[in-house]
Amino acid sequence: MRLTWAQPEDLVAHEFVALAEQGVDAGSLAAVAARWEQAGGSLHPERAGAGSDPAGPELRARARAVLDELADLAPDSPDEPDDWDAIAALLTAQRGPGARVAEADRVAGAWFGRCAGCLLGKPVEKLPREGIEEIARATGTWPVTGYFTARGLPQDVAVRWPWNRRSAPTSLVENIDGMPEDDDLNFPLLALDLLEAHGPGLTTEDVAQAWLANLPAGRVFTAERAAYRNLLEARPVPETATHHNPFREWIGALIRADVYGWAHPGDPLAAARLAWVDARLSHTRNGLYGAMWAAALCSASLVAGSVDEVLDAGESVLPPRSRLLAVVRRGRELGASMRAGDLTDAGALDALHTEFGHLHWVHTLNNAALIACALAAAGADGGFGRFGHGIALAVTAGWDTDSAGATVGSVLGALHGRDGIEAAWTDPLHGRLATSLPGPPERSLAGLAERTRALPDRMRA
């Protein structure tokens, strides 16, 4: 059986890349890499998570030993700590004035916007930028201003750039009937349940128990799959995030964070702390900060008057010398140039790919730079900007299309409010989303918004 994101022989190459990104001495890595290659292992990370042929018992055992050896090389950094107290000591954010209740239309806009942005990205997930553009041009929908379609798509283009097999039957404009199931929505649903149950006392162990009780292992990926495996091996937090987990700085924690922001409108620091509680189950360093940043964006988006206010709030919860803050500021700079008319969409995406294209398509750093760019570009006079342009830019970059689209959609949806999002994006949702979590197979978006709006009161309990 081919098992993605879990086979030890596939994790090794990704671990070499992760350690190099964190600044481990190249000579130390080269010595271990040479021995791994001599044993028959690969140094080429599998983009889709697994090689076609699982290794035999000897190579698999060797892979586990190499991962253990590499773990001893993982550096600590005072600039990028994992402990909350150490992180908080570096931040510029201050606690907000206390619980605030956001306008109902803005909370609904956040849910609808997250769904729309995710849905736009679903059928083209795993396709590169050039494939997405060729599909849209071939179907007469470039630049992207609505959901993708297969109508009129030439066969040769369809073969060259196949739709996402799981998503295409439910996420093209001709077949959308509500928001289909997706991990980018399952995690917010789970976070909503967790906060209703535990309030401000939520612990990482509560999150772990909720995963085991509610999430099928096959519907979590990358760092979450590694953490899930570590939980089943009875490893404690935070070892769940570090043991044989080369994906610990990828985007998975960022996609879980929106509800922690919505629970604290106008208090990005409180939102970031809750996101950290969740994220430390599976992530470290910039993986943690990605979740904190997203939560802060979502916190501010419910009460802010401009995109720039939201982006300022996000930056306030990032360690000042972290790699994430640097890439977010670069993305924001590119987006501001677009907004001023000095840079085209293509020019901005060219720059992002030149600077961050070496990273895996679901890494936190490149996707966060893209999200910041899309948000900054969507800002306009009065601050609220263009919803469709923001999510389209996030998707057509060709990285984590559904996740980046979801986060941009969440923030812009909250700024616009439900009534400020064009009907072409919201009508196909029919006010409902599907889920693989236990309970009803579909959830009402209006009901979810109502529950979410009540969270600030729960967080005072």
Where are the domains positioned within the chain?
8-71, 84-120+180-458
Percentage helix, strand, coil for the chain under 3-state DSSP, each rounded to 5? 60, 0, 40
Q: What is the pLDDT of residue 117?
A: 98
Select the CATH number that applies to the domain covering 84-120+180-458 from these four: 1.10.3720.10, 2.60.120.260, 1.10.4080.10, 3.40.50.261: 1.10.4080.10
Backbone angles phi, psi at 408, to 5 degrees: -60, -40
HEC secondary structure over 396-444: HCCCCHHHHHHHHHHHHHHHHCHHHCCHHHHHHHCCEEECCCCCCCEEE
- Number of neighbours of residue 211 by Cβ within 10 angstroms: 20
pTM of the predicted model as reported, rounded to 2 decimal places = 0.98
CA 276 to chain centre: 14
Q: What is the pLDDT of residue 44?
A: 96
pLDDT averaged per 10 residues, the chain (length 461): 92 98 96 97 94 90 98 95 98 76 96 98 98 98 97 98 97 98 97 98 98 93 98 98 98 98 97 98 98 98 95 98 98 96 97 98 98 92 74 98 98 96 97 97 98 96 70
Q: Is 24 helix (H, G, I), strand (E, B) or coil?
A: coil
The CA-atom distances, in angstroms, between 325 and each of 176, 235, 347, 371 are: 37, 31, 22, 13
Retrieve residue 9's tokens.
Answer: 């022989």
Q: 87 Cβ partners below 8 Å, 6+ apart?
A: 81, 276, 288, 289, 292, 319
Q: What is the pLDDT of residue 101?
A: 83
Q: Is 142 helix (H, G, I), strand (E, B) or coil?
A: coil
- Measured CA to CA, the distance from residue 394 to residue 120 in angstroms comes to 10
